[in-house]
Amino acid sequence: MTELYPEIKAFNTFELSVTEIHTIHIEQYGNPEGQPVIFLHGGPGGGINPSNAQFFDPKKFHIILFDQRGCGQSKPFAELKENDTWSLVGDIDSIRKHLNIDKLAVFGGSWGSTLALAYAITHPDKVDWLVLRGIFLGTNREIKHLYVDGASRFFPEEFEKFLAPLDESERDDIIGNYYKKLCSDDKGVRQTAAKAWSQWEGSILKLIPDVELIEEMGGDKFAEAFARIECHYFRNSCFFEATDYILHNVHRIKHIPGIIIHGRYDVVCAMESAWQLHKAWPQSTLKIIDNAGHSSAEPGIRNELLAAVQHFSN
């Protein structure tokens, strides 16, 4: 397949209270009697879009999308309290139990791949298969690559814009000082920082930069949650007890089949992470897309994602 499945409407939308303060927004598409598959969006803090359901055959799959804590239509918006990796892992399992599902297929890209792996490692008996794109293992090395030294070497002009909200004296701790601005009581300071943070990532998502996408990611509402939540997670090393937590625990999912899809020229998440994951997880298949960056919208990546889901549905 080279095209997404046609757009469809959700057959059910609801809110699930997961703590005293957090309520998550959930949408269901496709066939309620089909194979359950949960889509894990990126960021963290990116939110879902109905088009996410178009990677799956609606006749074969019970498709579950949800906005992770603090973003999209989940409430409270841009909230950082009780918002961490292990809370999100718990939310996925709460959704599974709420919908009376025994086992899930899990589909995640970028941060969604991190969360998918964390969920599978925690609940290896509840996952049928994994389709992962743009691998991010949540390591300090990857975080440094994206926000300190790495991606900046490919896009120095865009990185200069990213650094603009910080004084020279604040650039010795980019993430820490961005966090202070994103949590400022001054709305203008927060918005300026959020836009710069979000547009930096938007500028490097695709092999060929997409001006419309960059502007979209700089929108006030999207950027506020995306930047605040990302910075919160990355400032806390994704809440893993050790920076290489996933690779050290991937043996727990050795029985789970999976397909890894990664763009050769992915500047957001270097391909090294996909290679390391594949080597540590023999049951996986690695598909390297030689003419792509990070985005699932790039044709080569989109086509392999569709093929991967089709492979598991046969």
- Reading the chain (314 residues) residue by residue, the pLDDT tens digits are 679 999 999 999 999 999 999 999 999 999 999 999 999 999 999 999 999 999 999 999 999 999 999 999 999 999 999 999 999 999 999 999 999 999 999 999 999 999 999 999 999 999 999 999 999 999 999 999 999 999 999 999 999 999 999 999 999 999 999 999 999 999 999 999 999 999 999 999 999 999 999 999 999 999 999 999 999 999 999 999 999 999 999 999 999 999 999 999 999 999 999 999 999 999 999 999 999 999 999 999 999 999 999 999 98
* Catalytic status, residue 169: no
pLDDT of residue 314: 80
| Among 41, 266, 273, 284, the one annotated catalytic | 266
Ordered DSSP codes for 42-59: STTT----GGGGGGS-TT
* Catalytic status, residue 266: yes
| Among 113, 294, 295, 296, the one annotated catalytic | 294
Burial of 153 (0-12, 13-18, 19+ CB in 10 A): exposed
User: Using CA atoms, how far apart are residues 278 and 254, in angstroms rounded to an integer?
Assistant: 11
The residue ranges of every structural domain in the chain are: 12-139+242-313, 141-238
| Among 110, 203, 295, 296, the one annotated catalytic | 110
* CATH code that applies to domain 12-139+242-313: 3.40.50.1820
Supply the pTM of this predicted model: 0.97
Structure tokens of 3? 């095209």
* Catalytic status, residue 93: no
User: Using CA atoms, how far apart are residues 307 and 271, in angstroms rounded to an integer?
Assistant: 20
